[in-house]
Structure 1
Amino acid sequence: MDQKQTERRVEREMEIDASPEAVWRALTDAAELMRWFPPEAEVTPGVGGEIRLKWGEHWDGRCAIQEWVPGARLVYTWMENIAPPDVETGQPSKPLLVDFLIEGRGGKTVLRLVHSGFGPGTDWDAMYDGVRRGWLFELCSLKHYLERFEGLDRRFTWLHRRPAASRDAVWAGLLGAGGLFGAGADLSDLYMGERFTAASPTGEPMTGVVEIFGPPKDFAARVDQLDGGLFRLHIDAYPDRGVTDVYLSISCWGRNEARASDIGRAWEGALDRALAESV
């Protein structure tokens, strides 16, 4: 079977209430990237340049730019050396490609993403699933930033933990009653667009709107007490290695540094307590 016919790809399309120029800047300017995507970014513009995306010591990828058409198209390879090797040759797989198409339409912008090159084998399943789910949230973050907070720096909390438990057990322990959101809240059964109320470790209630809900993997919400900022919990699992990764992130725009740091520390403590007590 032809390899191209068996490759998998992630495809997303969304309308953003912003100009094509603003969307292009958000995709290609390091300061803009850090306002919605990674906590650290570097950009060497143009074909032959690169975009570096970094989440602390956990992910640090250099993306080689293949096409650079300002306001219209951006293509780059995806974070070198993270794809599984070719099962037949044992050699590194060909690079994954990220392709953004930007089109102005009716005073807004339609952004199309194609992330291609995922193999058909089971050795690709975890990566494909993680990237598919990741872009669902990250593009939501991009739209949220450009439509509500364009030009404002983001205060970003990003936490990673690796508990000795299955993904199902971690999900139930964190989102069920008595978990991360307090004894009176059970957030294990929500739907997109639903309003919710829960406790928070900052001492004030947590209310907002569910943006993403995909048990036992993903919960993301727009939170009133963060001035409309974003809260995300996602859980990845690698059963063949006996590994479960828990990630919690909080994006605040317009909050001062001290306040954002206090919020981050409160949630870090709450996550550690909930994992220790319920998992």
Structure 2
Amino acid sequence: MTDPQPTDDRGRAIELEVEVPGTVEEVWEAVATGPGITSWFIPMEVEERAGGEVLMDWGSFGRETADVVAWDAPHRVVFRGRDEQALAFEWLVEARAGGSCVVRLVNSGFGEGEEWDGQYHGMSQGWKIFLANLRLQLTHFRGRRAHAAIPTVVLDGPRPAAWARLLGELGIAPDARPGDRVSTSGDAPALAGVVEEVVDGPGATAYLLVLDAPAPGTAFLAAEGDGDQVAGSGYLYLYGDDVADTGAAWTSWLGERFPAMGVEDVADPSVTWAGAGED
């Protein structure tokens, strides 16, 4: 995966690439349609045409509307927000030999200044994690549709201490490596699977998992932020008929374990990304 590059005429841009398995049509469905995006990112509805509307479900933070400003299936789509500081999200899909594709993201429109710096750096790290989750989804659950839930708690920093505290409450080792099997214990919500990737970079620490409990799916446990307050999250993407209440169960448990700082059932990764680069 390439590093973000600040090279866009609408201000700074995050530019990332990831190679994923699948045909162009399969990968296009994952990055350009509502059910596809929901299975690795956040719940979304997409009107699949130029000029169409995009609805993004930010959970307790409400819903946001964007526009489809370009639609060239199955290779290029651009979503753009409607607020004064609207960002644009361009997705490009290119076939490669051997049954894989390269997905390129250009997230543009970042301005200058300290507030923009925090959002730019935080989202740069956040997108790397989500694109890794896209790769897992297409590797293990291609063509299937997940239920997404992102329960989040605010923890006292610094991030290493917050990460250790979150995993300690879950009963998961803080030093797991790719290939290790992990599972929650005690009264923590059921979660078990294999660690596919460990992220420990600027602004975020995370385990990316392929799950077999509480249902097949992908997930990543994450601590995000470098300030006095850090977001601790369980990003869950589950397949099955009995998983709709999983997010609520996690939110309830996190609220009991971390009552002093509060908890939200957040479905908005930008909430945590925006602070990931700040001191």
For these two proteins, the number of residue pairs brought into alignment is: 251
Cα shift readout 1:98-131 (whole Å, capped 9, x = no counterpart): 1111111213211111112222321112211332
Residue of structure 1 aligned with 2:195, choices 189, 209, 222? 209
Residue of structure 1 aligned with 2:219, choices 218, 224, 231? 231
What's the counterpart of residue 118 of structure 2? 126
- Cα distance in 2 between the residues matched to 1:113 and 1:4: 12
What's the counterpart of residue 100 of structure 1? 91
Tell whether the 8 Å contact from 1:8 to 1:117 is kept in structure 2 after alignment: yes
- Letter of the 1:31 counterpart: P
- Cα distance in 2 between the residues matched to 1:264 and 1:5: 39
What's the counterpart of residue 22 of structure 1? 26
Tell whether the 8 Å contact from 1:174 to 1:278 is kept in structure 2 after alignment: no
Q: What CA RMSD, in Å, does the superposition of the two structures yield over aligned residues?
A: 3.3
> Which residues of 2 match residues 235-250 of structure 1 at below 5 A?
235-237=223-225, 239=227, 244-250=230-236
Shift of 1:136: 1.6
What's the counterpart of residue 109 of structure 2? 117
Please list every run of 5 or more consecutive structure 2 residues that lacks an aligned counterpart in the other structure. 1-6, 263-279
Query: Are 1:37 and 2:41 an aligned pair?
Result: yes
Query: Are 1:271 and 2:257 an aligned pair?
Result: no
- Cα distance in 1 between the residues matched to 2:207 and 2:62: 21
Cα shift readout 1:65-120 (whole Å, capped 9, x = no counterpart): 2211011111121x443xxxxxxxxxx44x32211111112132111111122223
Query: Which secondary structure state, in structure 2, belongs to the residue aligned with residue 51 of structure 1?
Result: strand
Shift of 1:24: 1.5
- Cα distance in 1 between the residues matched to 2:26 and 2:93: 11
What's the counterpart of residue 86 of structure 1? none
- Cα distance in 2 between the residues matched to 1:102 and 1:53: 22
- Cα distance in 2 between the residues matched to 1:237 and 1:128: 13
> Which residues of 2 match residues 1-279 of structure 1 at below 5 A?
7-39=11-43, 41-58=44-61, 60-77=63-80, 79-81=81-83, 92-93=84-85, 95-106=86-97, 107-163=99-155, 165-168=156-159, 169-175=161-167, 179-182=168-171, 185-187=172-174, 189-190=175-176, 193-200=178-185, 201=187, 206-214=192-200, 217-226=204-213, 229-237=217-225, 239=227, 244-253=230-239, 255-257=240-242, 260=243, 264=247, 267-275=250-258
> Larger C-alpha radius of gyration, 1 or 2?
1
- Letter of the 1:229 counterpart: G
Q: Summarize the Cα distance change of 1:162–1:26 in structure 2 as closer, same or farther, 3 Å threshold.
A: same
Shift of 1:207: 4.4
TM-score by length of 2: 0.74
Q: Summarize the Cα distance change of 1:98–1:277 in structure 2 as closer, same or farther, 3 Å threshold.
A: closer
